């Protein structure tokens, strides 16, 4: 992105917060504020494709809250996830639908008010268990609650997103898996392909199974409704879906599919699978043979 685009998003939160901090410094030297609340986003912790400036701006707020707390000053950064019923997502239902497909649990207006109330009353609180990192209580993170993912799994979908593969989210991932009665161990990328090859007769069939299965989970449509010759665009493929699909293909198969190719109005799952198979033959010359191994 251009430097102008970067600063358009960064400056209000970075410079604005710093200017307020400096402007009230004299007063805070003698009188502690009741609260210093900054509205951040879950994207400051987990990242969002194509929005590096927005993610960085919110990460600054999270770090700045820790900085103020380390000085003995009031500070809370409230990392909000998806908020339904009001605001931007309410006005842009297609974005809300995308986040719901990822299993992100929405916060309604009443819940948001309760979270803000809790944050305002938590300015001086050191939460038990945070004694090794007392500044941790300066950051409230929402939007990673596993309730939405649980509902997706009840409907038969995989119900998972990349965030839960991060080791920092291991407690959330374990809580989600334990809720199903068994601890599900997510396979590594190579293991995923190896498992598919063991079940199918050829590399082509394994790729069809893997790619169609992942796409089905991505758009929350049953596998029976996935057609190999139907353009991806007809399923509502957008930049955010394409970014997630492209990332999975790379991690699972070590194949880098151009972003614009996934957004093309002519690309189908069938043509995509053929393209991936040709590249796999270059990487693994014997991959087309039955019983081949990796």
- Residue 45: give the domain boundaries: 3-145
Burial bucket for residue 162 (CB in 10 Å: 0-12, 13-18, 19+): middle
Residue 67 included in any domain: yes
32 and 69 share a domain? yes
Residue 289 included in any domain: no
- 31-59 burial, b if ≥16 CB within 10 A, otherwise e? eeeeebbbebbbbbbbbebebbbbbbbbb
Tokens coding 44? 């400051």
Residue 291 included in any domain: no
63 and 171 share a domain? no
63 and 166 share a domain? no
Residue 110 included in any domain: yes
257 and 274 share a domain? yes
CA 112 to chain centre: 20
20 and 139 share a domain? yes
75 and 155 share a domain? no
Q: How many domains does the chain have?
A: 3
- What sign for the dihedral angle of Cα 268, 271, 274, 278? negative
Structural domain ending residue among the three candidates 133, 161, 186: 186
Q: What is the CA radius of gyration of the chain?
A: 23
**Residue 265 sits in a domain of what CATH number?**
1.10.1200.10
Is 0.75 surpassed by the pTM of this model? Answer: no
Residue 90 included in any domain: yes
* pLDDT of amino acid 8: 95
Residue 294 included in any domain: no
Residue 91 included in any domain: yes
pLDDT tens for the 294 residues of the chain, in order: 899 999 999 999 999 999 999 999 999 999 988 899 999 998 898 877 778 999 999 999 999 999 999 998 999 999 998 888 888 777 877 777 766 666 567 788 898 999 999 888 876 555 555 567 778 889 988 877 666 666 666 655 555 556 666 777 777 767 666 655 444 444 454 677 777 778 887 888 889 988 998 898 888 788 888 999 999 989 888 887 888 888 888 888 888 899 889 999 999 999 999 999 888 877 665 554 444 434
The count of other CB atoms within 10 Å of the CB of residue 281 is 13
């Amino acid at each position: 992105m251009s430097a102008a685009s970067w600063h358009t998003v960064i400056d209000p939160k970075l410079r604005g917060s710093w200017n307020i901090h400096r402007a009230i410094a004299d007063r805070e030297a003698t009188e502690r504020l009741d609260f210093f609340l900054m509205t951040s986003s879950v994207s400051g912790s987990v990242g969002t494709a194509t929005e590096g400036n927005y993610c960085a701006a919110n990460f600054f707020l999270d770090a700045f809250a820790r900085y103020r707390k380390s000085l003995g000053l009031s500070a809370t950064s409230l990392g909000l996830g998806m908020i339904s019923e009001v605001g931007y997502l309410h006005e842009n239902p297609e974005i809300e639908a995308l986040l719901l497909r990822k299993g992100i649990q929405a916060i309604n207006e009443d819940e948001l008010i309760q979270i803000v109330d809790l944050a305002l009353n938590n300015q001086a609180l050191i939460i038990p268990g945070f004694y090794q990192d007392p500044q941790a209580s300066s950051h409230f993170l929402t939007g990673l609650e596993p309730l939405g993912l649980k509902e997706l799994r009840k409907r038969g979908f995989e119900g998972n997103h990349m965030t839960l593969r991060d080791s920092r989210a291991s407690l959330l991932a374990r809580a989600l898996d334990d809720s199903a009665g068994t601890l599900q161990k997510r396979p590594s990328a190579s293991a995923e392909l190896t498992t598919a090859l063991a079940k199918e007769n050829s590399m082509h069939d394994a790729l069809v199974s893997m790619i169609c299965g992942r796409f089905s989970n991505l758009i929350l449509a049953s596998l029976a409704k996935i057609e190999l010759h139907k353009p991806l665009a007809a399923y509502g493929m957008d930049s955010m879906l394409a970014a997630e699909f492209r990332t999975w293909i790379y991690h699972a198969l070590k194949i880098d599919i151009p972003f614009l190719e996934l957004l093309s109005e002519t690309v189908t799952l069938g043509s995509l699978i053929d393209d991936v198979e040709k590249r796999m033959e270059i990487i693994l010359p014997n991959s087309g043979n039955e019983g081949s191994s990796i």
